[in-house]
Copies of this chain bind each other. A is one copy, B any other.
Amino acid sequence: MVEVKASLKEQYNHLFAAVPPAAIREIDVKLSSVPDIIKLTIGEPDLPAPTAVKEAVKAAIDHDDSHYAPSQGTLALRQAVAKYLQERYDAPAYDPESEISITVGASEAIHDAFSSLFNQGETILIPTPAFSLYQAEALRLGLKVVEVNTAPTYKFTAAMFKQALQDHPEIKGMILNFPGNPTGVTYEPAELEKLAAAIGESDVLVLSDEIYAELSYENKHRSLTSYLPAQTILITGLSKSHALTGYRLGFVAGPAALMKQIGLAHSGVVTTAPSPMMAGALAAVTTAKDAPFAMRDIYQKRRDLVMDGLKKAGFTAPTPNGAFYVFAKIPDFFTADDHAFVYELGEKAHVGTIPGSVFGAGGEGHIRISYAASTEDLTEAMSRIQAYSQRAQDLKQKNLA
């Protein structure tokens, strides 16, 4: 243990102090101390990595692929990613040499885009409820954030966009995430087209986080870049589609002029992504490019299991058409304070969830349930929630009587 010099205790970036702590991980850690708890907290696939990906990384290691790769990623990978994004995302034909970078997860892509495309003091719009990293990173970088509450549909509409721009003409950029975390909501093609048209009338630059694209249940995912290529940066990666969270592989694509700046941020921050992992990514978007379909089918069955289980327990939630989260309204017979409810549910029913208010305006009174967990765990968790719900209702009935 090393004590810092007393006079240096305040020597840090004071923008960092304005950022709320990373609530999801903090809550996850607290709930972990409850014995026998089933945690449906973290958005992390429980499935193993595709075999072809694993073999490709191991082969790269055997072949001493331990040297620096080109900063923006190996050309072979960028070419394959360009093709994959066209096929699977309906993305435009990005130039692999100047319009695609490989990052250390989508997180790094988000950081690089925020830090390189916006100036300190500029304003970005975040539709909420949203993944809390967006706001945290934006604030740490000195950006201003305008939240737009999308409840109860959780769809950000053209009308909402126009209203926000009228209220805040200083908005320079926005982040859109679909299928969305924490709600699982995604867009119909007509909705997305309308939204793209409204954004296209403005000069607002969009970061489109489509990391859950491959986990779209009803329709094939269609990227915002297919409607609005000239003012959209596409952010995605393999963490969710291929169950590769720990491999840290992200992709970012957009017009060359903007990608040049993102590439500078990327090479400054990490130099390049790990070479053997990029060999794995190449396998993921070529030989293992269909692996997400099987995973999606598994998640869809789990979604149905959870939706059914929650309904029986008295919860309501919009049916997720993508990702692996249910964003459920806490029934009236429980406390409406979602933080209190999450700890109550954790301690008394031994099921871990995330309070909705950590995702911003529109999240209060809700919980997020991740169904990236085994069917067995999900079945047991639903029984526990139902039993706990029944007890609460009985108690309320008794008190009223």
Contacts and interface: CB of A to CB of B under 8 A. Distances in A.
Contact of A246 (B69, B95, B246, B267): B69
Contact of A4 (B93, B119, B137, B231): B231
Number of copies: 2
A111 B269 contact: yes
Contacts of A244: 66
Given A54-B62, A107-B268, A274-B274, A67 B44 contact: yes
B13 A119 contact: yes
Interface centre among A19, A65, A248, A273 (most CB of B within 10 A): A248
Interface residues of A, number: 88
Contact of A247 (B8, B58, B66, B267): B66
Contact of A245 (B7, B66, B107, B248): B66
Interface centre among A9, A15, A257 (most CB of B within 10 A): A257
A392 interface: no
A243 B66 contact: yes
B268 A136 contact: yes
A9 B203 CA distance: 10
Nearest to A137: B268
Given A71-B25, A229-B2, A274-B274, A257 B9 contact: yes
A3 B255 contact: yes
A8 B261 CA distance: 13
Contacts of A203: 5, 7-8, 11
Given A58-B61, A140-B265, A270 B11 contact: no
A287 interface: no
B258 A4 contact: yes
A285 interface: no
Contact of A54 (B3, B61, B116, B120): B61
Contacts of A4: 230-231, 254-258
Contact of A66 (B3, B16, B49): B49
A104 B107 contact: no
B13 A95 contact: no
Nearest to A111: B269
Given A136-B268, A246-B274, A274-B277, 14 more contacts: A1-B99, A4-B254, A4-B257, A5-B203, A12-B116, A12-B117, A19-B264, A48-B66, A68-B246, A104-B270, A246-B272, A246-B275, A248-B274, A276-B277
21 contacts: A1-B95, A2-B95, A2-B256, A4-B256, A5-B231, A8-B205, A8-B230, A8-B258, A11-B173, A12-B118, A13-B117, A44-B68, A48-B66, A58-B58, A105-B270, A107-B270, A133-B268, A136-B268, A246-B274, A247-B276, A274-B274
